[in-house]
Every structure is written in structure tokens, then in C-alpha cells.
Chains A and B, each alone.
Chain A
Amino acid sequence: MLITTPNLTKPDESYARLIATHDGLDEAESHALNARLILILMNHIGNDAVLAEAMDLARNPKKGAA
């Protein structure tokens, strides 16, 4: 099951790192990086049902409130 409650050990650090990872990249390079990152994280999660939940939530963010 997809974790939607707080789970990041260092939320501010991780978010800042995400932004910094894109430093100096143009928009196309940033998109490509995001694509690689998503694929890497997908593999780390592994579970197809969890991924389906995550994709559904990303597509329909209002569902998070339910």
C-alpha cells in the first residue's frame, strides 16, 4: 500500500537535494533527469500495485484528501 503519511527522514534536505540536482540543466535536460529519477524510484519501490496507486494519485491529486 502506498505510504501517504509523512515518511521522509529529512524532508527539507531531500527536497533541497531534488532541486539542486537540477542545477545548471536546461528544461529538456531536467525533464530527462526526472524521467531517469522516476524509473530509478519505480524500480526501488518495485511493487506494481503500489506504483499504480502512486500514479493514480499523481494524476488525480485531489484523491489524496479522501
Chain B
Amino acid sequence: MKYDVPERYTLAFRLYPYAKSPDQDAATPARHKAIVVGGGPVGLAIALDLGKRGVPVVLLDDHEGAGLGSRALCFAKRTLEICDRLGAAAPMLAKGVQWNLGKVFHDDRLLYEFNLLPEGGHAFPAFINLQQPWFEKFLHDAIVAAQAQGAPIELRGKNRVDAVIPAEDHVTVEVMTPDGPYRLEADWLIACDGARSPLRTMMGLGFDGRVFEDNFLIADVKMKADFPTERWFWFEPHFKSGDSALLHKQPDDIWRIDFQLGWNIDRAKEMEPARIRARVDAMLGPDVEYELDWSSIYTFQCRRMEKFRHGRVLFAGDAAHQVSPFGARGANSGIQDVDNLAWKLALVLDGTAPESLLDSYDAERVYGADENILNSTRATDFITPKTGVSKMFRNAVLQLAETVPFARTVVNSGRLSMPCTYDGSALNGPDHPDMPARTRPGSPCPDAPLGDGWLLARLGRGFTLLAIGAEVPDRLIAHGLAVPRLLLEPTPEITSRYLGGAKGAVYLIRPDQHVAARWDRFDDTEVAAAMTRAIGKG
């Protein structure tokens, strides 16, 4: 009998060709610590993060690499910081397009321009534009580099999971390959298999939320035209393509054009190249030469799973939550899932932390997903008003925005992805009222210059104790974990981002670079209690 694992899409990069594993001939299913299902940005990143932490991980993907098409495009500062921790950010930054200026149009009128004006003193820009396959390729390059250094990561292409059998203390999966089916067992299974998550379906789990009846046509065009590197957004564009349109630059002289088409469309007809060209011509004008590079029509919903942890199965990325494209909150939030999950799973697997630490992954990332869904839903409602009165107010805002500055703050063409602060998390320890709100417990650490380098690059893989003008011991061990200290000078950036009005500051930083707790002086008992809390033993 001949088996097959057919490709559902064309590959941009073949990264991990199928190779038969000894597991396929094993008499009893091989047992692995962690199995990741899905080879998109989230699956690759979690495999990389776990592997770099020494957790043996097997990634199963029904394809052999990165799919074609630009898809996720805008990668935010926090994503780049996380990728830097994983050793993948430098090539992303080198290849990606940086942009700061945005223009907002209504019909044919320029309403206003905005500048992201990134705050100084950060290693990474606010955003880069980079096609998803390149993002995945750079993560894969980092996996190969990590494997060479001994990271126990194994990628299995053309390994499609056809069944999942959860048990109390492990999960069994049935995997189809070109050599036929085999079984594997995992202590933990991480489902990163996308918005249509077959694993979610196999487990009979819901994916509820608000359906937005809309279709988006992406047209990637290659052109040498002298358009500036800016984000141009139209409400009700004069070229009559629908409620909104977006023009954005990608690497390699490629431009992303998003046309919002509405609900009742003839999908096949809209995908005809001649019809796409007519739309693009109307937008760019008749004299601009370009080639169609790639196009796709997609729909979206704003929804999430009720829980991201189901026993030994953990859902991450689009499999767990889905948002509208406005705000670049899809892949960016998926990478934040990875950041949150990897250190917790590593501590649970080595016995340092109780299994219940993984419930904080659920709590924190559900909170993050709700924030993203709220922002994304509000942008969608502004762009496509659902009632007559809502449209009237929307257009009043747009009209005022042309002349009155305040109205520009109300215009919502997507609130661009910012990392989530886990306010109220059970892992958070004490706060100090004299220190800046942006670094309160639960917040991701803002970067700052440090000597010739950067603060975030100096944070280790584990917990860190930051001290500014405060005495801390040079060696601290809690729950068997070494907590190295990092002494900071009160530079202007450190003072405004960490010290505030306090005389001194001691910060306990989690392995994902989020603040666990902070005090104005070191206290052995308090720090130990905060560590206990931060690893889920509190």
C-alpha cells in the first residue's frame, strides 16, 4: 500500500524534508517529553525555545517547510526581542523593511499623517515588515544553529497527526507519513496547527467568538515605482474596492495591497488575475508598471478557545485565538504565547515547578488574547460600521480628523500590536508605588541601552534580579534555580523606565523578561516568596 501526505499548499522554502525516523519502526510508541504539532511561526518558535532550554522536543508538520505567500507581515518590537533571545532576530532585522510613517486617507483625501516615532533607547524598531516564509526560514536557521550546539530539537516533515488520544499523564498521537502510520507518546503536546486547528477539532473543543462577514483580497505586487516606505490606509477608497484598503512595503520591491471586499463576493471571480489587476490599476493609477507576485482571499473571525490548556495538551497561536488583521496581532501574539509557555513547561518538566504553573499560561495568554480581540474588534467596527448611526459617527470622526487634531486619536485603522501586561496574574508579586507604571509586575521589560549593548540582551534564560542603587547578593539560589543579579546605573533611560521616584529599585524578572515583582530594597524573604509565587508554588 502506498501512503501519502499530500501538500495543501505550495512551499516557499523546503526546510525539513521527510526522513524516516526509527520511531516509525518501534514495537511500542516512543515517548517524548514534548511534541509540537505545526511548523508555522509559533510551532517553530516554541520548538526552538524549548530546545534551547534543553527540553527534548519533536515537531511534527504535515509539510516540509514554509508555505508560499506573504501572510503575516508586520512583526512588532516585542516579537523581535523574543526572537533575539532565541538567536533569530539579526537576519530578520537585516531583511525586514522598517517603517515609521503612516498616511490615512478617506476617499481621495489625505486626512493626516502619523509617525510611530519609536522611543529612543531600544535595540529594535517598533515594527518591521517581513514576509511570513522569511520569518519562518530565519527561525529554522536558528533551530539548525541551536541543533549544532546540541539543542535536542527534531523536525519531522510530512508527519501529519491524524488522531490524538489524551490521557491523564501523557498524550498519544497517530501520525501519517509517506511510509505509513505510526504512534508517538508525549508528556506534553503543544498544538500550533493554525486557525483551523485539526487537533482542536479532533478533541471536540470549541472556538467561539464573533464572526465578521468580510473577505480580504491580498495582492502582493512587485514594482520599482517610487512609492515611499510608508503605511497607507484608505477608508472608503476612491478606487471603490470596498470599505478599506492598505498599501504596505515588503522586502524585495514587493508591496502588500489589502482590499476589503465585503461579504457577498464571487470568490473565484475575484481571484481572476485580470480582475485583481483592474483593482490594482485603479489604486495605483494607469501608468504604474508592476507584476502580480502572489494573491489570496481570506476571511477572519475574532474568537478564542475557552481554555488554552486541556490537560496535557496546550494550544498556542492561531489554534488558540484568532483576530482580525487590523493591528498585526496574529503572529505577534502567537510569539508571545511561546515566550510565556516555554519557560513554564521547561520548569514543570524538570520538576522545579508544579504542573499548575501551566494554568498560568492559560490565564495570562487568555488575558492577552482578550486584549487583542478587543482591540481588533474595535478597529473592525470602526472600519466597517455595523449600523447607520455608527457609520455617521465614524464619518464625522474622519471629517474632523482632517482639520482637528483630537479626532485623529479616535480614528482606528488598527491599534498596532503592543505586548500585554499581565495585570492581576497569580504569578505577580509586590509592586512599589514610586516606580513607573510601565514596569509594574506583569509588564514586559522595556529595553534600555546598557554600556555598549542592551538591557534585554543581558537578561539570562532564567530569572534575573535587577538592581538600581540597591544592594543585592551576587548569588541567590531559590528552588534550586540560580538567580543572577544585574546591577544597573541610573542612566536617563533606566531612571525613567525602572526607577521612577524611588531611591533604589530591585526587580525580579521572569525568564520571559516580564516583571515578577519589585521593591525599593532587597529583602531575602520577600524575594524568596516572590520566586515561589512566580513558579506557581505560591
State the A residues within 8 Å of B (CB).
Answer: 31-32, 35-36, 38-40, 43
B404 touches A40 (CB 8 A): yes
Which B403-457 residues have C-beta < 8 A from chain A? 404, 406-407, 410
Set of chain A residues within 8 Å of B404, measured between Cβ atoms: 40
CB 8 Å contact bits of B369-401 with A (1 = contact, 0 = none): 000000000000000000000001101110110
The total of chain B residues at the interface (CB under 8 A) is 11
Q: Is the interface of A mostly helix, strand, loop or mixed?
A: helix
- A-B contact sample (8 more), CB < 8 A, given A31-B392, A35-B395, A35-B396: A32-B395, A32-B399, A35-B392, A36-B399, A36-B400, A38-B393, A40-B400, A40-B404
Give the distance to chain A from B31, nearest Cβ to Cβ, in Å: 54
State the B residues within 8 Å of A (CB).
Answer: 392-393, 395-397, 399-400, 404, 406-407, 410
Q: How far is the CA of A40 from the CA of B393 in the complex (A)?
A: 12
A32 touches B392 (CB 8 A): yes
Set of chain A residues within 8 Å of B406, measured between Cβ atoms: 43
Q: How far is the CA of A39 from the CA of B401 in the complex (A)?
A: 11
Q: How far is the CA of A35 from the CA of B398 in the complex (A)?
A: 11
- 15 residue pairs bridging A and B, Cβ less than 8 Å apart: A32-B396, A32-B399, A35-B392, A35-B393, A35-B395, A35-B396, A36-B396, A38-B393, A39-B393, A39-B396, A39-B400, A39-B407, A40-B400, A40-B404, A43-B406
Set of chain A residues within 8 Å of B399, measured between Cβ atoms: 32, 36
Give the distance to chain A from B28, nearest Cβ to Cβ, in Å: 61
Set of chain B residues within 8 Å of A31, measured between Cβ atoms: 392
B394, closest chain A residue (CB): A35
Give the distance to chain B from A40, nearest Cβ to Cβ, in Å: 7
A28, closest chain B residue (CB): B392
Q: How far is the CA of A43 from the CA of B404 in the complex (A)?
A: 11
Set of chain A residues within 8 Å of B392, measured between Cβ atoms: 31-32, 35
Set of chain A residues within 8 Å of B396, measured between Cβ atoms: 32, 35-36, 39
Set of chain B residues within 8 Å of A38, measured between Cβ atoms: 393
Set of chain B residues within 8 Å of A39, measured between Cβ atoms: 393, 396-397, 400, 407, 410
Set of chain B residues within 8 Å of A35, measured between Cβ atoms: 392-393, 395-396
Give the distance to chain A from B386, nearest Cβ to Cβ, in Å: 16
Give the distance to chain A from B409, nearest Cβ to Cβ, in Å: 9
Set of chain A residues within 8 Å of B407, measured between Cβ atoms: 39, 43
Q: How far is the CA of A40 from the CA of B397 in the complex (A)?
A: 9
Give the distance to chain B from A38, nearest Cβ to Cβ, in Å: 8
Give the distance to chain B from A36, nearest Cβ to Cβ, in Å: 5
Give the distance to chain B from A56, nearest Cβ to Cβ, in Å: 17
Q: How far is the CA of A4 from the CA of B407 in the complex (A)?
A: 26
Give the distance to chain B from A45, nearest Cβ to Cβ, in Å: 12
**Best-surrounded residue of B396, B400, B406 (most CB of chain A within 10 A):** B396
Give the distance to chain B from A6, nearest Cβ to Cβ, in Å: 27
Q: How far is the CA of A35 from the CA of B395 in the complex (A)?
A: 9
Set of chain A residues within 8 Å of B393, measured between Cβ atoms: 35, 38-39
